Structure 1
């Protein structure tokens, strides 16, 4: 087991930070802009059926998919087809398992407009 004192660790950090050409993280300008707006979705589970209600109040488009994980090992999980939601749009996505549902979530993908 190697033990380092606080002064050794501080000296190593100083050398790494001061070394020319060593980038510890990407410059702020090169980082992708985080997605600020995505459609608002809420899910409802009713027995073995799940429904996602999504609306998009934002100026950008969104593509949503409903994902359902079934409780039983033999029951196939469900991934819906992608649904496009334009600005001010609304969509309902449904799916079901044969028996119980373990988890439900909605994934988002931004739409690029020309």
Structure 2
């Protein structure tokens, strides 16, 4: 009788663990994917370029930001551009001297 209870408890434990794993994997699949365009930013000297492609069905608005390395060199922001579904855009900005960092924001 004790063996039957142990087997039943082990089966119940395995079933519970299986349900928890199945629930967590289905919850991960139900999470919405980010609806942003995929952007690749490159910096060469004093020039920054961002290439963005939007694989999503909705539009995304992207803007390139450049932070210049020198204190006297003004930081630059490109104008925001709307990237429609399956569209590709290229954004470019520059500093007078070196670039500290460049990034793309989404709206």
Say whether the fold is shared (TM-score over 0.5).
yes
Q: List structure 1 runs of 4+ shifted beyond 3 angstroms.
A: none
For 2:70, the equivalent position in structure 1 comes to 72
Quote the Cα distance in structure 1 between the aligned partners of 2:51 and 2:81: 12
SS of aligned partner of 1:65: strand
> Quick one: distance in 2 between partners of 1:64 and 1:74?
27
Residue 37 of structure 1: how far off its partner (Å): 1.4
- After superposition, where does 1:1-114 map in structure 2 within 5 Å? 36-109=34-107
Per the normalisation by structure 1, the TM-score is 0.65
| Higher helix fraction (1 or 2) | 2
Distance of 2:101 and 2:51 partners within structure 1: 16
**Alpha-carbon separation, structure 1, partners of 2:33 and 2:67:** 26
Question: Structure 2: which 5+ runs fail to align?
Answer: 1-31
Q: Which structure has the larger Rg over C-alpha atoms?
A: 2
Q: What is the root-mean-square deviation of aligned Cα atoms in Å?
A: 1.5
